[in-house]
Amino acid sequence: MPARQLSFKAMGSPCELHLHAESQARFEAFAEAALAEVARLERKYSRYLEGSLTSQINASAGDPNGIELDDETASLLDYAALAWEQSGGLFDISSGVLRRAWNFRSGRLPSPEEIEALRPLVGWDKLRWQRPQLVLPLAGMQLDFGGYVKEYAADRVAAQCRELGLRHGLVDLGGDLAVVGPHPDGSPWRVGIRHPRAPEGAIASLALAAGGIATSGDYERCLVANGQLYSHILNPKTGWPVPGLASVTVAASHCLIAGTASTIAMLKGKRGPAWLDRLGLPSLRVDTDGNASGPLASRSRKPSTSWTAPTRRPC
């Protein structure tokens, strides 16, 4: 029985559900619940929606009383605090304010003065977070959950499907993948990893039977100026991208962990592969010359226009 599929757009990305349901009616019930959960999280955490909780948090910047947060958001903030600490301050959800200087559609590099003007507003350690109260002490500070809420949403949808009785499926939110369960015969999902320098093809094909997988790269949103590519993944300490890696793919027990690890590795640049090796998570790293390394590199292939895979294609 082939998986039933639903394509949709959410969180600014093309998304897909691949679910083995015994009937179309059951598939539609699972899909409806999944879409509702993704929409709920987007409404709650999108920085682009005026009424979102993220917008309310950012509007509270400069208020010494701060804002009281619910348990779900508190847990996401606790996770961000842990990721900030374990990354040496590189994973920092207060760094979204740097986008005021970086416009990746303009083709123009920000000036050093523009970056320096924003740096005082960046820094998780400047926040006052004591559950359930959050204070952004400086007017103009911002939090951005965009760096990990999509991965969190993929995990939430997969868990919700299992709670509703689904045993076999895959959730794909813009290339962030979470497994509900393997195919009914026990075989894993086959996932194609896009080549960062030949996006019409794939650099690797991976088997995924449980957990999640995520990729961070310099090719989705970038700026090319003076012949140099600048990634949208910005070092919060400098306000500038870190050269060295074109993409990092990580597999982990949860999509959220995979996405955080891949982002941190990108931010570490040339030091990222060694950090991932110490972490012990299966990974595929591609440098800016297109060379692949890591435990998953043995499954990599040269770019081929005869085997295409938009983002990460399961089958």
pLDDT digits over 76-117, tens only? 999 999 999 999 999 999 999 999 999 888 878 999 999 999
Architecture of the structural domain at 1-47+145-183 = Roll (3.10)
| Same fold flag, 1-47+145-183 and 53-143 | no
Question: For residue 143, is pLDDT > 60?
Answer: yes
- 23 CB contacts (<8 Å, ≥6 apart)? none
pLDDT digits over 260-314, tens only? 999 999 999 999 999 999 999 999 999 988 889 998 875 544 433 222 223 343 4
Q: Report whether 219 contacts 290 (CB < 8 A).
A: no
- Domain locations along the chain: 1-47+145-183, 53-143, 188-315
Tokens standing for 112?
A: 């050093």
* Section 21-48 average pLDDT: 97
Q: Regarding beta strands 176-181 and 292-293, do their DSSP bridges make them parallel or antiparallel, or are they unpaired?
A: unpaired
Q: Going by CATH, does the domain composed of 188-315 fall within 3.10.520.10? A: yes
* SS3 category, 32: helix
pTM of the model: 0.92
Question: For residue 226, is pLDDT > 90?
Answer: no
CATH of domain 53-143: 1.10.3980.10
* Section 130-136 average pLDDT: 97
In degrees and rounded to multiples of 5, residue 34 shows phi and psi of -65, -45
List the beta bridge partners of residue 129: 134
What is the DSSP secondary structure assignment for residue 4, as one 8-state letter? E
Q: What is the mean pLDDT of the chain?
A: 91
Question: For residue 61, is pLDDT > 50?
Answer: yes
pLDDT digits over 42-56, tens only? 999 999 999 999 999
pLDDT digits over 172-188, tens only? 999 999 999 999 999 99
